[in-house]
Homo-oligomer: A and B are copies of this chain.
């Protein structure tokens, strides 16, 4: 795509970093947008900024901390993280409509800069109860944003049907497995002092658990 221009919704985690690497392979110009919404820690943002710098792409943060007031939940408060007990018994880390909000804000920001292509790390394999990670939602959201803005908004989700193990494999194919292992952040607890073969993290929270399991499966293919 000549003169193609994409915006990656970028948290600094494994998934969105792999999306960024994918975008750099598929678009001429790539920018990143990071959302802060009162998470427990800002380590994820520090990682995001560092990765963007390493890859020489524009990095912009948008403060969505008003989200905290909308849907109090474990990610944004000091409540204990649990995998149940949230809205409709979804995990308590679920911010209602979070991905709809991210994509809507990203489009508002991007279209003002002439960007119609958005890259987002949603994945319906590791779905685990999040309805806003499914392809049916993503397709509907792109259609809605196109109608809202008289544009041809496209939302690319290169990880949609990949397991965590296959996401590690994609990073390897894109020549950046080391970057993913060293620089991306996943741990809910914000732990980066403990190093494992699959990266940094507490090793016990659900996010670390998924990453470890994925890496072990990926390693078994090598």
With A141-B148, A144-B141: A64-B66 Cβ-Cβ less than 8 Å: yes
A70 / chain B contacts, CB cutoff of 8 Å? 62, 105, 108-109, 112
Does B141 contact A137, Cβ atoms closer than 8 Å?
no
A173 / chain B contacts, CB cutoff of 8 Å? none
Does A131 contact B148, Cβ atoms closer than 8 Å?
yes
Number of copies of this chain in the oligomer? 2
Interface bracket on A: 35 or more
Whether A145 is near chain B, meaning CB under 8 Å from some CB there, is yes
A101 / chain B contacts, CB cutoff of 8 Å? 101, 104-105, 108
Contact with B along A121-154 (1 / 0, CB 8 A): 0000000000110101100110111011111000
Whole-angstrom CA separation of A101 from B148 in the bound complex = 10
Whole-angstrom CA separation of A217 from B113 in the bound complex = 41
Does B107 contact A131, Cβ atoms closer than 8 Å?
no
Q: Is the contact region of chain A dominated by helix, strand, or loop, or is it mixed?
A: helix
Whether A99 is near chain B, meaning CB under 8 Å from some CB there, is yes
> Measured between C-beta atoms, what is the minimum distance from A15 to chain B in Å?
18
A111 / chain B contacts, CB cutoff of 8 Å? 87, 96-97
> Measured between C-beta atoms, what is the minimum distance from A216 to chain B in Å?
31
A112 / chain B contacts, CB cutoff of 8 Å? 70-72, 87, 96
* Complex A-B: 8 CB contacts under 8 Å: A62-B69, A63-B66, A70-B105, A96-B112, A100-B149, A131-B149, A132-B147, A140-B147
